[in-house]
Amino acid sequence: MRRWFPIVTAALAALVAAAPAAAADPSGAARTGATAGKAAKAKPVNCAKVKCIALTFDDGPGRYTGKLLETLRENKTTVTFFLMGEHVDKYRGTARAIARAGHEIGNHTYAHPHLTSLYDGLIRDELVRAQDSIERATGKRPTLMRPPYGDTDDRVSGIAAELGLAQILWNRTSRDWELRDSKAITKRVLKDAARNRIVLMHDIWPETVAAMPGILRSLKKKGFHVVTVGTLLRGRELAPGEMYPLTGWR
Ligand SMILES: [Zn+2]
């Protein structure tokens, strides 16, 4: 997989540098058709100047993701999705719609194992299989990954580096998988909202998706711009294997 190295490193740099522009014009994605894939047409956001927060959605795509895409489109907002390969294979059209709408897509492994408990070869398989599924569905290989459960170590980091994947963790979690209540999820996200934070959420839960219109409305009222991780990083280039953020996600 070494041959991917310079290519993905360059791609990551380009992604990070171009994130605001890409959000404004998701490379003609809107022209390719389907209503569900219509671009969010978010305005370019400079997180050095305005208050940004990145909402990130793990474990999809799933049966509620389409509804979330609608809400995001209505709010002209782009976010980051960390997709499971297994779910991409099952909901390939939805994965394609996420990409067409200009959202950022990262790798969340194929089947969501605790990576640190696996042999090297299996860690690599989990990541590569998800890369393959995502590329088949969207035409693009991610340059970001998020280890399930935030479970990573030097071995996982080394393999992520080999595959050209930077590791994106989070600063705060919505704990939506425990709360399973839209009001409680909303309350928690708003309470924890702070400039430049990355928030962990899951679009596989209907309560999370149902909470999103209210969350976006309230964040806007508080002066936040909801952005992708790439936009939040403002051109900062993460090295393959590098973790961001380094603290706060345990
Ligand atoms: Zn997960």
Which tens digits make up the pLDDT trace of 52-73? Answer: 999 999 999 999 999 999 999 9
Query: Does the residue 17 lie in any domain?
Result: yes
Query: Does the residue 121 lie in any domain?
Result: yes
- Whether the CB-CB separation of 151 and 119 falls below 8 Å is answered with no
Query: Does the residue 202 lie in any domain?
Result: no
Number of domains the chain is built from: 1
Residue 232 per-residue DSSP state: H
| 203 belongs to the catalytic site | no
The whole model's pTM is what? 0.83
CA of residue 123 to ligand 1 center, whole Å:
15
Of the candidates 183, 207, 197, 213, which has an alpha carbon nearest to the alpha carbon of residue 247? 197
Q: Which of 59, 202, 203, 225 is catalytic?
A: 202
Q: Which domain holds residue 55?
A: 4-27+43-180+209-236
| 202 belongs to the catalytic site | yes
**pLDDT recorded at residue 43:** 64
CA of residue 33 to ligand 1 center, whole Å:
30
Query: Does the residue 248 lie in any domain?
Result: no
pLDDT along the chain (250 residues), means of 10: 45 45 37 42 83 98 98 98 98 98 98 98 98 98 98 97 98 95 98 97 98 98 98 93 82
Query: Does the residue 204 lie in any domain?
Result: no
CA of residue 18 to ligand 1 center, whole Å:
27
How far is residue 211's CA from residue 109's CA, in Å, rounded to a whole number? Answer: 26
Query: Does the residue 197 lie in any domain?
Result: no
**pLDDT recorded at residue 188:** 97
CA of residue 228 to ligand 1 center, whole Å:
18
How far is residue 101's CA from residue 129's CA, in Å, rounded to a whole number? Answer: 23
Of the candidates 127, 138, 150, 120, which has an alpha carbon nearest to the alpha carbon of residue 58? 150
Distances (CA, A) of 102 to 78, 98, 239: 7, 7, 23
Give me the residue label for tokens 């934070």: 197
Q: Which of 58, 59, 176, 203 is catalytic?
A: 58
> Residue 86's domain is classified under what CATH number?
3.20.20.370
CA of residue 238 to ligand 1 center, whole Å:
21
Which tens digits make up the pLDDT trace of 167-214? Answer: 999 999 999 999 999 999 999 999 999 999 999 999 999 999 999 999
Distances (CA, A) of 191 to 194, 199, 237: 9, 12, 30
Query: Does the residue 32 lie in any domain?
Result: no
**pLDDT recorded at residue 21:** 39
- Whether the CB-CB separation of 40 and 23 falls below 8 Å is answered with yes
Give the amino acid at 54. Answer: A
CA of residue 152 to ligand 1 center, whole Å:
13
**pLDDT recorded at residue 5:** 45
Beta strands in the chain (DSSP E): 52-58, 80-83, 104-107, 144-145, 166-168, 172-173, 197-202, 225-227, 243-244
